[in-house]
Amino acid sequence: MSENTQLLVFGLLALLVLALFAGIALLSEKPVETFVFYVFAGAMVLSSAAIVFSKNIVRSATWLLGTLGSAAGLFLLLSANYLAAIQLIVYAGGILILIVFGVMLTAKNPFLGFAARPRELLIAGVVGVVLFAGLVSVMFAGPWPQVPNATPSSEVAPVHAIGTALLTTYLVPFEIVSVLLLAVMIGAAYLARPEKR
């Protein structure tokens, strides 16, 4: 199949999925929000699957950007604007770039492909099934405990209040995270240095 045919099939399939999402969204009370949720959730699932099945490290990192961006979109739907911005700045902007530079600095060929051995696939599959079974058992274990006197609040914490808390009350953990990221960058530069002979 030619590349143009593949693109046409992929485009038609994407349109079909979007039409399905729109049809499902029309059945809800808030069709626009439901449609946008399905678009972000579908993009997150697709990007996550592409991360797992991609055999190229740089492409996996690029798909990770799609997953993190979709998570930021879901935060926006929840009116958690600060979390969405932090998701994009810290994870998509910072960690992802760190991963890409780490891969490019440490690998002899940054576009190096990798293939998992059958034993590694088996171990990963078993761990995934065990974690999924644990999650399902916790979800359906029984009634969740209620926190006494807990009422949902409609007030949204302003960003300046969160920033003030980060730089006063939570200053030490905030700085520890920055030192950890600096250590990762130094480690990547150390591993990438040429060997002396």
Tens-of-pLDDT digits for all 197 residues of the chain?
666 676 677 677 777 877 887 787 777 788 888 888 888 988 888 888 888 877 777 778 888 888 999 999 999 888 888 888 888 888 877 777 777 776 766 666 655 556 678 888 889 889 989 999 999 998 888 787 777 877 766 676 777 888 888 888 989 988 898 888 788 778 767 766 666 66
CA 28 to chain centroid? 27
**C-alpha dihedral over 75, 78, 17, 68, to 10 degrees?**
10
> In degrees, to the nearest 5, what angle opens at C-alpha 127 toward C-alphas 49 and 143?
95
Rounded to whole angstroms, the Cα distance separating 52 from 68 reads 15
Rounded to whole angstroms, the Cα distance separating 43 from 37 reads 10
Alpha helices in 54-153 (DSSP H): 57-77, 81-86, 96-106, 118-139
Closest Cα to residue 85, out of 68, 99, 97, 63? 68
pLDDT at 131: 94
pLDDT at 127: 94
CA 163 to chain centroid? 23
Which DSSP category does 123 fall into? H
pLDDT at 31: 82
Give all domains of the chain, ordered by start, each with its CATH number: 3-138 (1.20.120.1200)
Residues with Cβ within 8 Å of residue 85, at least 6 apart in sequence: 72
Rounded to whole angstroms, the Cα distance separating 123 from 44 reads 24
Tokens describing residue 50: 């592409």
Rounded to whole angstroms, the Cα distance separating 133 from 195 reads 46
